[in-house]
Amino acid sequence: MSKKAAGAAYEEVLLEDLRDPAEAAAYLDAALEDAAPRYFC
């Protein structure tokens, strides 16, 4: 599997997981801990 194909597969799974509100909240909490605040403005 190419990197591009693997990335597309990951994105599909991620988008499916984020349909669950609890998963989406956990994802955003983790992103807020790791990312620079400017990404959320």
- Residue 33: per-residue pLDDT: 87
Q: What is the mean pLDDT of each run of 10 residues along the chain (41 residues)?
A: 73 93 93 78 68
- Residue 1: per-residue pLDDT: 64
- Residue 24: per-residue pLDDT: 95
Alpha carbon distances (Å) from 33 to 1, 5, 9, 14, 16:
31, 28, 25, 19, 22
What is the residue extent of each domain of the chain? 3-40
